[in-house]
Amino acid sequence: MTDLQASLIAIGGAIVVGVFSYNKWQEYKTRKTVERAFADDQHDVLMHGDAAPHERVEPGFGAAAAQPEQQAEPEYAPSAMPAGAAADDPAAAAAEAAPVPQHEPSAMEETVLHAPRHDLPVDQLIDCTIGLGLESPLRGDRVLPIVHTLRHVGNKPVHFIGLADDGRWEAIAHGRTYTMLQAGIQLASRTSALNEIEYSEFVSRLRQVADELGAECDVPDMSRIVSIARGLHQFVAEYGAQLSVNVQSNRAPWQISTLLAALARQGFDLRPDGRLVMPDGDGGVLFSISTNASGGDETTSRLTLLLDVALVAAARDGYGAMISCAKSLAARLDGTVVDDSNQALSDATLEEIASQVHAFYAEMESSEIPAGSTRALRLFA
């Protein structure tokens, strides 16, 4: 056997070994992918037990706040929302609310659950959260371009946070190193709950993100997540109270041009979207006002003041400010504070409604979604 023949045999053997090894690696990678796709031992990151969806209760003027239900498990059960100020019977019965379970961590997140969290974009209470276990620590510069490809699914926002090497959860930033990531998709909004199609799309796209990052993720069961989302949406529907009072002219209609000038003196601000709002002094809104006039109208006989209760913190007393403004406008413009049926609202009626608003705020506080909080602003925006 010549040296050339020996060399060719050695090269051929090396090629065979390489091909065999490559095929085995491909088989292993494919098996892991299939196991992950069809795994049935997934854990629910949000809760233990099922949350039964409830029929949505539409907001209505005149409903009084009900007492929260008592729960044996560590859950909270928001009661029905208070209704609008323009009511003939402020003490009407309230509808029952759907319980919204608190979330439980997955096994992956258990060891880092108590890591400090400060005002983060991923919220265990109102998001479906999924942990991404990294094979090795990653810099934020590497992570950000990949996670930015998943910002929304339908109309539900998606956010990511990272467990930094100093042991703190934070929004992912350049120049930082992370040992674990967590993704969260908002479970509900005023318009809808997270549904099966949106959840499936979220999971599919999240797995693509995980593959690019070399990460593994524990995916909770779809039916339970969708059930929780419906329960949270029920809460949003019942607590989405908008209270209104009206100022009706006692004499001739008001000129729109004159009225707008008077409202500006009263402190109202015309926003780019055309709304007239009363600022809260910190960039937010206390309440809004409508002239009830169409584009071609030159006069109006009625003003409507509207308070979106869940969006204004109790400490700001948005209801008290709105009623005070309505009374001031009525005195200046020779009008009367009335309800939607054009019946004058007495001080006693307004005080009764104020007590209902206070009860509403207390119930939201006990539900861990205080009015005007970051959670409330996300859910009720």
**Tell me, what's the pLDDT at 201?**
98
- Does residue 341 have a pLDDT over 90? yes
206 token code pair = 């999240």
**Tell me, what's the pLDDT at 33?**
35
**Tell me, what's the pLDDT at 1?**
64
* Sign, CA torsion 255/261/262/267: positive
The mean-pLDDT minimum among 47-61, 134-148, 271-285 falls in: 47-61
What is the average pLDDT across 9-33?
A: 55
- Does residue 104 have a pLDDT over 70? no
**Tell me, what's the pLDDT at 200?**
97
E strands present in 150-217: 152-153, 156-164, 169-171, 177-186, 215-217
SS3 category, 90: coil
The mean-pLDDT minimum among 42-56, 150-164, 282-296 falls in: 42-56
Question: Quick one: DSSP state of residue 267?
Answer: T
Q: For residues 277 and 3, which has the higher predicted lDDT (pLDDT)?
A: 277
Question: Which amino acid would we find at residue 337?
Answer: V
What is the average pLDDT across 352-364?
A: 96
Hey, what CATH topology would domain 94-238 get?
A: Cell Division Protein Zipa; Chain: A, (3.30.1400)
Residues 6+ apart with CB under 8 A from 200: 222
**Tell me, what's the pLDDT at 106?**
52
Q: What is the mean pLDDT of the chain?
A: 79
What is the average pLDDT across 215-224?
A: 95
pLDDT per position as a tens digit, 270-283: 998 889 999 999 98
The mean-pLDDT minimum among 36-50, 141-155, 275-289 falls in: 36-50
- Domain coordinates in residue numbering, the chain: 94-238, 241-380
Per-residue pLDDT band for 94 (boundaries 50, 70, 90) equals: very low
Write the class of the CATH domain 241-380.
alpha beta
The mean-pLDDT minimum among 109-113, 163-167, 170-174, 312-316 falls in: 109-113
158 token code pair = 């998606």
Nearest-CA neighbor of 198 among 128, 102, 130, 143? 128
Within this chain, domains 94-238 and 241-380 share the same CATH topology: yes
